[in-house]
Amino acid sequence: MINLIKKVHRQALIFLIIFAAISTFFTAFASLGDWRKMPHSVLIGGLLGLANFKGLAWGLKDFAIQQRPTGKLIFWSMIRFSILAAILVVFALLKLINFIGILIGLTIVFALIIKEGYREVKQSS
């Protein structure tokens, strides 16, 4: 599981930097809004997705041992979700992010998690 997390983190950082550069190009030349917010938003969305993935893996370690959800797991999942929501709300209220950029960053991380999870399942069977 640690290998899977490291693979996702490594690939995500590469893809996030590439997509941040591409998004800067498109927003600057296509006049799609404030081009300076877009690359930061992609990176912030991706980093929040990676942090959430790391927290999920940390919480599920205990779940794999006990085979049932505990109050501790549910509590920390809710805390993690609340922190993620609070960070996004603060950035949105301060107008530091672009919503589309956040979605792009989160989607990149989500797609990499799905891809690496599928590859891991395929290798183990």
What does the H/E/C string look like for 56-106?
Answer: HHHHHHHHHHHCCCCHHHHHHHHHHHHHHHHHHHHHHHCCCCCHHHHHHHH
pTM assigned to the model: 0.85
Predicted local distance difference test score (pLDDT) of residue 1? 66
pLDDT attached to residue 3:
84
Find out whether 108 and 16 touch, Cβ atoms under 8 Å.
yes
With cut-offs at 50, 70 and 90, classify the pLDDT of residue 50. very high
Q: What are the tokens at 67? A: 């085979």
Residues 28 and 87: their CA atoms lie apart, in Å, by 26
d(CA 95, CA 24): 17
96-123 pLDDT, tens digit per residue, is 888 989 999 999 999 999 999 999 999 9
50, two tokens? 């990676």
